[in-house]
Amino acid sequence: MSMPMMRPKRKNPILRTRVMNLPPSARGRVALGLTAAAAEGRLMLQVCERCASVQYPPREACSGCLSPELRWREQTGEGELLAVTILRHSNDLYFRERLPWRIGMVKLDTGPTLIVHLHGDVAEAPRRVRVGARLDRSGQAVLIAFPEQEIPHMADDPVLRDMTSDPKFRKVLITDGKSPVGQAVARAMVKAGADIVWVGVAEPWKKPAGFDELLALPQVSAVPLDVTDSKSVQTLGGELGGKVDIVISNAEVHRSFGIASRPGTDAARDEMEVNYFGLLRLSQAFGGALKARAADGPTSATAWVNLLSIYALSNFPPHGTFSASKAAALSLTQCLRAEMRQAGIRVINLFPGPIDDEWNQTMPPPKLAPAAVASAIVKALRDGVEDVYPGEVAQEWLERWRENPKVLERELALGGAQS
C-alpha cells in the first residue's frame, strides 16, 4: 500500500534549477485517438466494426480481418497482469532521471495484450489489474496498470504524481477569490492539501459573504490582482511567478443578451477585457516562470486551469457576447497549451454548463453549484486530464456537438438550450 507523501524539503537555492526533460512524444496520426480520449480521462481502443475484435496498438486496418472500419470505443481496462520487469538503464534522458521504472504485460479481458507502466501498489504477477490511460508530461497518452480496487494514498505514487497535477503540497493562485466559484475552489484546494492558496482581489472595498471566513484559513492569503490592469498582473507575476505551482484562471465577466437586445459594445468589451485579454495578460506574466520551474521535483510548477464555458463550443444566443468571449478564450488556451507542453505544464480547460450564480438566475435547473465546479477542478488536477465537462448540461451539449455541430447550432438558434 502506498505510504502518504511527506512534505518535501525546501529547495536549496544554491543548487542548479533542473530543466524539464520530456518523455518520447512521437506518435502516428492514428495513435492520437488514444491521446484524445486520455485527455478526457477515458481509455478508448479501436474496435473492428466487421469482426468486433479490439485492437492494440492503434492501426489502420483490423489485425484479424483487415477491415479498415475501426472505431474508437471506451474500455473498462480490466485484465490480468501476466509479467513484470524493472528497467534499470535507459538512454532516454527522461527515464534516466527516474530509474528504476516498473513495466508490465497485461492481457485485457477484451482480448489485446498491452505493455504498461505499473502503479507502485501493483504487486507481482499474476493478478487482476485495471488499466487506465493518462497523459504523460509530453501530453501524449500512456497506459498505466492500477490495483483492481482503490486504496488510500494512490495519488502519492511517484509515477502517477509525475504525470498528474495533484494540489497536495503545492502553491495555488486563484485569480478571482471573491466570486462564489473562486471561494469554493480555494476551500477545495485547502482540503486537497495545497500548501499555500493565493486568492486574487480586484476591488478590496467589496466584501462578499464568506470571504472573511475564507481568509481566516491559515493556507489562504489575499493578493491584489486586477486582470484588466497590465501593471497589476505584471507586478503580481514578478512577486509570485517563481513560487506558484498551479494557476487557476477563473476571473470572468458574464452578461446575458445577444447582439440586438443590448445596444452598444460596452458589455461585450467588458467580457472580452476579462475573459480573453485578462487570460492573455496572465499567460504573459506567469507562463515563463511556470515553464522555468517545471522540473522542481515533487512540488514543481505543474498546471494551468482555465474556467471556460460549454457555450464556447457553440454560441448560445441568449448569452451571445459571453459565448463569443469564451470561444475566443478557448482558442487562446489552445495556443497556451501548445507553448506550455514544451515544458510539461498541463493546461486544463473546464467547460461547465450554467453555474448557479446571479447571471443564470432565470435559467431553469439543472445548474452547477460552485462547489461542484471546485470538485471538478480538483479531480481534473488529480487525474491529469486536459478537458473537463462537468454537469448534465455540459455533457449533453458535448454529445450533441460531437454528433453534429451544425445541428446543435440550429437547435440553439431556435431556442433549444437544456433539453
Reported as a single tens digit per residue, the pLDDT across 230-274 is: 999 999 999 999 899 999 999 999 988 888 877 889 999 999 999
Q: How confident is the model at residue 360 (pLDDT cuts 50, 70, 90)?
A: confident
pLDDT band at residue 363 under the 50/70/90 scheme: confident
What is residue 3's predicted lDDT score, i.e. its pLDDT? 64
pLDDT at 184 over 60: yes
Instruction: Give the per-residue pLDDT at 261.
Output: 79
pLDDT digits (tens, 9 = 90+) for 201-240: 998 888 888 899 999 999 999 999 999 999 999 999 999 9
- State if pTM tops 0.75: yes
Q: Which helix (H) or strand (E) holds 392?
A: helix 392-403
Sheet holding 196-201, edge to edge: 220-224, 196-201, 171-174, 246-249, 303-307, 346-350, 387-388
| pLDDT at residue 295, as a whole number | 83
Asked if 172 contacts 20 with a C-beta cutoff of 8 angstroms, the reply is: no
At residue 1, the pLDDT reads: 53
pLDDT at 419 over 80: no
Mean pLDDT (the chain) is 91
Give 14-66 pLDDT, tens digit per residue: 776 677 888 888 888 899 999 999 999 999 999 999 999 999 999 999 999 99
**Pair 299, 169: CB distance under 8 Å:** yes
| Structure confidence by residue, pLDDT tens digits, 375-407 | 999 999 999 999 999 999 999 999 999 999 999
Residue 105 pLDDT greater than 50, yes or no:
yes
Torsion angle of alpha carbons 303, 161, 301, 181, nearest 10°?
40
pLDDT for residue 301 is more than 90:
no
- The whole-number pLDDT of residue 416 equals 64
How many CB atoms neighbour CB 398 within 10 A? 18
- Which of the residue ranges 236-250, 278-292, 336-350, 354-368 would you say has the lowest mean pLDDT? 354-368
Of 91 and 417, the one with more pLDDT: 91
Contact in structure between 311 and 329 (CB atoms under 8 Å): no
Give me the half-sphere count of Cα atoms (radius 13 Å) on the Cβ side of residue 225: 33
**417 pLDDT above the threshold of 60:** no
Is residue 34 within 8 A of residue 133, CB to CB? The reply is yes
* Grid coordinates given for 206: 467589496
Q: What torsion do the CA atoms of 230, 236, 238, 242 make, to the nearest 10 degrees?
A: -130
Q: Determine the pLDDT at residue 176.
A: 96
Which domains can be identified in the chain, with CATH numbers? 32-163 (no CATH), 171-413 (3.40.50.720)
Handedness of CA 185, 187, 190, 196 (dihedral sign): positive
